[in-house]
Amino acid sequence: MPDDALGLPYSVPARREPVLPNGVLGMLIFVATEIMFFSGLISAFVIGKSNAIGGWPPPGQPRLPVEETALNTAALLASGVALYFANRAFKRGDAKTKRLLLISIVLGGFFVVFQGAEWVALIGEGLTVTSGQLGGFFYLLVGTHALHVVAGFIILLYTYRKLLHDDLDRFTFWPAQVFWYFVVGVWPILYWQVYL
């Protein structure tokens, strides 16, 4: 008896053939809400930018590390691609699944650590959450995304553990992927809006 994704979607038997399994549909609805949540944050940021007197980014504030973060963006996107291939291998029953999933997880972890280092440097330069609108919105948007990456990282670790115990089914793996693709997919938009 497989315990379902995250121990959550314990499920009643389907008496009809659903278009999408319960876990996936539930996760998609959740992701839709998340998209609206990030839309709210991003539109607040856009309004904040357009209200700024003296142009954006505000003069006299530290600059955000555009090039380093481009590298980090590439790492996160690569993690999403690795997960995609991990799923293809998983469907074939290929032993490569383990390695690909691990690559995806490690790249996700790298993203968070790299960003943490970036934050430490920026705080050192005097950019804090209360130092002005730039700092406030930067840590709000990027921090919210970072929390999602950490959550996705934990979910992927959980699926990896299940895979090691030969206990992973698509009803766990699929919703986990949906969430990770969302986390990966929303980042380039944030990068474009916040850094560029």
Partner 1 sequence: MAEAGTAETHGAHAHDAHHEQGFWSKYIFSTDHKMIAMQYMFTGIVMALIGGYMSYAFRMQLAFPGQSVPGYGLVSQGEYNALVTNHGTIMIFWVAMPMLIAAFGNYLIPLMIGADDMVFPRINRLSYQIFLVSALVLIGSLFVPGGGFGGAWTAYPPLSSSAEYSLTPLGSTLWLVAVALEFVAFLLGGINFITTLMNARAPGMKMYDIPMVLWMIVVASVLFMASVGPLIAGAVMLFMDQVVGTGYFDPGRGGDPILWQHLFWFFGHPEVYVVFLPAIGIVAEIICTFSRKKLFNYKLILYTVFATAIISFFVWAHHQFVAGIDPRMANVFTITTLIISIPIAEMIFLYIATLYGGSIRLTTPMLWALAFIAEFMIGGITGIFLGASGSDIYFHDTYFVLAHFHYTFFPIAIIGFLAGITYWFPKMFGRMMNETLGKIHFWGTIAAFNSIFIPLFILGTAGQHRRIYNYQNFPDLADMQGLRVFATTALLVMLAFQAVFLFNFFYSMFKGKPAGKNPWKANTLEWTTTSPPPHGNWAELPNCYRGPYEYSVPGREEDYWPQDVPPDTAPAE
How far is it, in rounded angstroms, from Cα 25 to Cα 186?
Answer: 19
6: alpha, beta or left, given left = phi > 0 and alpha = psi -120 to 50? left
CA dihedral 176, 178, 184, 185 (to 10 degrees): -170
- Position 55 contacts partner 1 (CB under 8 A): no
Binding mask 106-145 for partner 1 (x = CB under 8 A): -----------------------xx-xx--xx--x---x-
- Interaction residues for partner 1, span 57-116 (CB under 8 A): 58, 91
At closest approach, how far in Å is the CB of 62 from partner 1?
A: 16
Number of H helices, E strands in the chain: 5, 0
- Position 11 contacts partner 1 (CB under 8 A): yes
CB nearer partner 1, residue 106 or residue 140: 140
How far is it, in rounded angstroms, from Cα 182 to Cα 37?
Answer: 12
If you ran DSSP here, which 8-state letter would residue 129 be given?
Answer: T
- Position 12 contacts partner 1 (CB under 8 A): yes
Binding site for partner 1 (CB under 8 A): 1-2, 4, 7-22, 25-26, 29-30, 32-41, 43-44, 47-48, 51-53, 58, 91, 129-130, 132-133, 136-137, 140, 144, 169-171
